[in-house]
Chain A
Amino acid sequence: MTALERARRVGSEVAAKYADAVDREARFPGESLAALKESRLLGIMVPTELGGEGAPLSAVIEVCHVLGQYCASTAMVYAMHQIQVACFVRHGLQSEWHRAFLTRCAAEQLLIASATSEAGIGGDVRTSSCAVDLNGDRFYLKKNATVISYGDHADAILVTARRTPDSPASDQVIVLVLRPDYRLEQTSGWDTMGMRGTCSNGYWLHASGSPEQVLPLSFADISAQTMLPTSHIAWSSLWLGIATDAVERARAFIRAEARKKPGTTPPGAVRLAEVVGMLQQMKAGVVAATRRYEAAMQEPEELTSLSFAVGMNSLKTTASQTAVQVVNHALLICGIYGYRNDTDYSLGRHLRDTHSAAVMVSNDRILGHTASLLLVQKQDPGLFA
């Protein structure tokens, strides 16, 4: 079975079944993650010579899209894991240590979390206060991480930190720390409007390891070339998945209405036509950004260009807003049946989950960043170029 077929099965048979319970209880989607592991979907991006499937990014993006249609929290956990995997697949293959880790990742279906945000740095993940402190052949690292999504359930954590205790705040590296070598001390919980199953608690992270666990390339480069574009595309894709399911419910509602009164078009049908157009626009944005990124991956220079950053930022800010609009439209179509939490057309969870999109990495922050890039970036007058 292809990755897409396996994801569809995990989504429809497992994630869909537990999505409401995960949301209600704000608990980790353990059943879905177990099914994803059993379907060998966690390591698909790992190169074949290391035991993975060497799947392209687009395959992962498709899985995020499918999972988003059944359980947004499952899709978000999967997306975040793959963002971490992408960093090591694209920047760690020269390192024996990271090759060995990726081999384990594929064989044992390890789940990777991340600790990029930190208390006291004003929410900007591109600066760190904590540092890799090398002492002989071991490093020590202590981070007051405001968020480590699914930290309690991960096997390894990608951590950003200053290169040395003497480095400036922006001279950051990525370190991968392994479960036996770290300890988490929870500092905050996760009782939120939506995305309740990602269990994005805050923790003090205490870790140690060998210096080989630090990726050679700077975080600034890895962020621009991989983490940022992969995040924006994977997230947008799963938001598209949530919106797609909302529209599917609206379609089903209109069909049921039409059957009740053959020969007449239900009043909400026009709104359905409108929302299908919005969904199509959103999908086009995700597909175009994925293609653009896959083409640009061959040229690291292109990946650091301002126009590429503007393109990826804009995907995130627009997709996050459109997702809410689409779900809201679907809610208007389904009316009271969408508003209730106990019908086949319920849309409360979809609406709450999509509202996370604009605030998880604040759109205002991203728009501010884009605005400053636009002070020097030039308009692209072309269409297909």
Chain B
Amino acid sequence: MTEEIRAILGTTGWLQADVSTLADGDDLYAAGLTSLASVNLMLALEDKFDVEFPERMLRRRTFESIAAIRGAIAELAGEQAPA
């Protein structure tokens, strides 16, 4: 799942930093993710993983790092996040 999230982040140009230089826990907003780009990121993630983010997850922290995104999607998919 981590690789798929990285692939989405890497091909869209929403980050100003190169995604391969980021650790899973790094702050994506500090890497250039804007609030508008985060909306497009949510849409891409919903499409890729066939999930829908509920209202309670639609906040800044849910998308602040690759690890946070992975946790949110894993929670929605009803599975444990891979270590």
Which residues of A does B touch, CB under 8 Å?
126-127, 168-171, 218, 220-221, 224, 301-302, 304-307, 309, 369, 372-373, 375-378, 380
Contacts and interface: CB of A to CB of B under 8 A. Distances in A.
A112 B53 CA distance: 40
B16 A221 contact: no
Given A126-B34, A218-B30, A220-B29, A304 B59 contact: yes
B55 A380 contact: yes
Of the candidates B29, B35, B42, the one having the most CB atoms from chain A within 10 angstroms of its own CB is B35
Interface in B13-53: 16-17, 29-36, 39-40, 42-43, 46, 53
B17 A369 contact: no
B54 interface: yes
B58 interface: yes
A221 B30 CA distance: 11
14 contacts: A168-B17, A168-B32, A170-B16, A170-B32, A170-B33, A218-B30, A304-B60, A304-B61, A306-B58, A307-B55, A309-B35, A376-B58, A378-B54, A380-B55
B35 A168 contact: no
Contact of B58 (A168, A169, A221, A307): A307
B5 to A, nearest CB: 17
A378 B58 contact: yes
Of the candidates A169, A306, A378, the one having the most CB atoms from chain B within 10 angstroms of its own CB is A306
Contact of A224 (B32, B39, B42, B60): B60
Nearest to B17: A168
Nearest to A224: B60
B39 A375 contact: yes
Contacts of A221: 60
B55 A378 contact: yes
A343 to B, nearest CB: 47
A304 B62 CA distance: 10
B31 to A, nearest CB: 7
Given A170-B32, A171-B32, A375 B43 contact: yes
Contacts of B17: 168
A170 B55 contact: no
Q: What 8 A-B pairs come out closest when comparing CB atoms?
A: A304-B60, A168-B16, A168-B32, A306-B58, A305-B59, A304-B59, A378-B55, A376-B42
A3 to B, nearest CB: 33
Contacts of B59: 301-302, 304-306
Contacts of B29: 170-171, 218, 220
Contacts of A369: 36
B53 A376 contact: yes
Contacts of B34: 126-127, 170
Given A224-B60, A306-B39, 13 more contacts: A169-B32, A170-B29, A171-B29, A218-B30, A220-B60, A304-B60, A306-B55, A369-B36, A372-B40, A376-B39, A376-B43, A376-B58, A378-B58
Contacts of B54: 378
Nearest to B30: A171
A372 B35 CA distance: 10
Nearest to B58: A306
A163 to B, nearest CB: 8
A375 B53 CA distance: 12
A375 B46 CA distance: 12
Nearest to B56: A305
A372 B42 CA distance: 11
Contacts of B32: 168-171
A224 B40 CA distance: 18
Contacts of B55: 305-307, 377-378, 380
B58 A305 contact: yes
Nearest to B16: A168
A126 B35 contact: yes
Nearest to B34: A170
